[in-house]
Amino acid sequence: MGMKKDFIDIQDFSAEELKILIELTGIVKKASKERALPDLLHKCSLAMIFEEASTRTRTSFEVAMTLLGGHGLYMRPGDIHLGKRETVGDTSRVLSSMCDGIVIRALHYKDIFDMAKYSSVPVINAMADDKNHPAQVLCDAFTMFEKIGRIRGINLAFVGDSSKEFGLMGRDLMLISSKLGINFYLTSPKQHQVEEEFLKQVYKNAALSGSKIVITEEPEEAVAQADFVYTDVWTWYGFEDKAEERLKAFMPKYQVNSEFMKKAPPHCKYMHCLPAMRGEEVTDEVIDSNQSIVFDEAENRLYTEEALLITFVGRALRPRKADKESNYYKEISRITQKFF
């Protein structure tokens, strides 16, 4: 089947490969809704390493493995010796000798990179606190495609942090937008904006895809043509000492409330990767409104994870005879063959 392939950084993939994953997510969602998803990971085991607590990511990967006929082994902090009494490389070698794939959420991207480097099985990035969240932004791209029916030319406004220290969602959304031809509008206080070094890659991608990248301190400019408005948290655990300073920088100008949403076109939808700090970056009246698609977005994590597991972990597996007779298997096989 060739060399194993990992899913740890959006930049590793072409626009066409990302579109294939989005197309596949739509197929597996339909199959899942009909309870007709083939057992493409029958008797497979997935090591799931989580250095932090998780709701959507942990649940989506574990349920996805079950629905695909496999097993997700959840490893929380303290369950294994990762990077403490054992090197990441040694842990990776051991787990990949027993499991068919590894999902890892880590504090540092380097640990995810090293896990993939030493693993003999595919590794999927379930979020690096200091860099990116590729599974989430792939899900977001699928969710926008599902709502609008196209990808290229979507206008996405991100309201919030995109700095190296705290802005991983804004940065990764900008990256996937620049790959896919999504017009990306970023608005935040200047001190919380993305740095020039990161923008070099974004602009390089955008030159190929036709994506428009706009960075502004004025929310009105960012959301004037928005099809989607997206926020992430401004404060979080580990940053308690900076919470007051950060809230002062963002409030009230950048809070997405009902008056804020009136600055966007009437068809505009609201998105959030969750968990949300209600009353800070977004108000109840917006997140619980008809414009909000945050819970559709959250549900779509399941189908995105199914697509990732089929594509990366399932690549080396021979399907069971019963699955090969499934119409969904034939459709899934047709799509995944385009990927590799």
Set 9, 44, 99, 136: catalytic member: 136
Set 133, 171, 192, 272: catalytic member: 133
Q: Which residue, 139, 67, 75, 65, is CA-closest to 104?
A: 75
Q: Are residues 245 and 210 in the same domain?
A: yes
Q: Are residues 309 and 271 in the same domain?
A: no
Residue 332 lies in a domain: no
Q: Are residues 96 and 177 in the same domain?
A: no
Burial of 141 by CB count in 10 Å (0-12 exposed, 13-18 middle, 19+ buried)? buried
Average pLDDT for residues 294-311, to the nearest whole number?
A: 98
CA torsion angle 275 280 282 285 (round to 10):
110
Set 114, 172, 232, 323: catalytic member: 232
Please tell me which residue, 114 or 241, carries the higher pLDDT value. 114
56-106 pLDDT, tens digit per residue, is 999 999 999 999 999 999 998 778 877 678 899 999 999 999 999 999 999
CA dihedral sign, ordered 30, 34, 40, 46: positive
Residue 88 lies in a domain: yes
**Reduced to 3 states, what is the DSSP secondary structure of residue 315?**
helix
38-54 pLDDT, tens digit per residue, is 999 999 999 999 998 89
Q: Are residues 153 and 291 in the same domain?
A: yes
Q: Are residues 226 and 113 in the same domain?
A: no
Residue 214 lies in a domain: yes
- pTM here is 0.95
Residue 213 lies in a domain: yes
* 108 noted as active-site residue: no
Residue 66 lies in a domain: yes
* 136 noted as active-site residue: yes
Q: Are residues 290 and 311 in the same domain?
A: no
Q: Are residues 277 and 169 in the same domain?
A: yes
Q: Are residues 162 and 231 in the same domain?
A: yes
Residue 333 lies in a domain: no
Rounded to the nearest angstrom, the gap between the alpha carbon of residue 17 and the centroid of all alpha carbons in its chain is 15
* 191 noted as active-site residue: no
Average pLDDT for residues 18-31, to the nearest whole number?
A: 98
* 42 noted as active-site residue: no
Number of domains in the chain: 2
* 301 noted as active-site residue: yes
Span between the terminal Cα atoms of the chain, in Å: 9
Which stretches of 255-340 are DSSP H helices? 258-261, 284-287, 294-308, 321-324, 327-339
Q: Are residues 304 and 286 in the same domain?
A: no
> pLDDT at position 1, please?
47
Q: Are residues 21 and 50 in the same domain?
A: yes
As a whole number of angstroms, the distance between CA 73 and CA 92 comes to 14
- pLDDT of residue 265 exceeding 50, the answer is yes
177-189 pLDDT, tens digit per residue, is 999 999 999 999 9
Residue 4 lies in a domain: no
When pLDDT is cut at 50, 70 and 90, the band that residue 278 belongs to is very high
Q: Are residues 304 and 292 in the same domain?
A: no
Which CATH number do you get for residue 86?
A: 3.40.50.1370
- pLDDT of residue 2 exceeding 60, the answer is no
Set 6, 44, 100, 105: catalytic member: 105
Residue 335 lies in a domain: no
Range of the domain at 85: 10-132+298-319
Q: Are residues 78 and 142 in the same domain?
A: no
* 267 noted as active-site residue: no
